[in-house]
Amino acid sequence: MITEDEVKARSETFWDAVKSGMPGTEMEHFFIGEGHVMVPGGQRMDLETHQQMHRALCDESHHWQSLQVVQVGDHPERAYAAGQVNWEASFADGRPGRIKAAVEEQWLLERDSDGVLRWVHYRSRVVDFAPDSAPLEI
C-alpha cells in the first residue's frame, strides 16, 4: 500500500532535484516510461524544459496544503495522489517580486520493482497565483 507519507517523501525528493538545476535527462529516474510534466492547459512539458524554467528561479519552497492518496492497483502497486501545494520562488536574475501560487497536483504513482515510487503520470492541473504574486512566464 502506497501511503501519504511515502508520496510526500517522494515529492520532496523530486522538488529538491528540481531546485538543484540538474539536467532533465538526470530527472528521468523519477518516472516510469517517458518522463514529462503535464502543465495547466494539458500541454506536455519535457523534463529539460521543466528544468530550464526552474533554473530561472531560486529560493523555491513547496509545502503540501492538502493531499489525498487512493490505491488504484496491486499488480503493479499504484496510487492516485491529488492535492494542493503552496509554491513560492524568487527570480535567480534578481528581478523584484516573488512568485506565490497554489498548485493543484494530480499524480499516478507506481511502486517499481526496486521498491521505489515513480510517476506514471504527473499533472499540475491548476496554478492559482496569489494577488500579490510576481508573474511567471512559461
Domains of the chain: 4-129 (3.10.450.50)
Of 109, 106, 90, the residue nearest 30 (C-alpha): 109
Q: What pLDDT does residue 138 have?
A: 64
Of 40, 23, 17, the residue nearest 119 (C-alpha): 17
40's CB contacts (< 8 A; 6+ apart) are 124, 125, 126, 127
Whether the predicted pLDDT of 137 surpasses 80: no
pTM across the whole model: 0.93
Q: What pLDDT does residue 34 have?
A: 87
Task: Quick: pLDDT tens for 4-60.
Answer: 999 999 999 999 999 999 999 999 999 998 899 999 988 999 999 999 999 999 999
Distance CA 73, CA 87 (A): 30
Q: How many CB atoms are closer than 10 A to CB 6?
A: 17
Q: Average per-residue pLDDT in the chain?
A: 95
Of the pLDDT bands very low, low, confident and very high (cuts 50, 70, 90), residue 136 is confident
The stretch 131-138 carries a mean pLDDT of 88
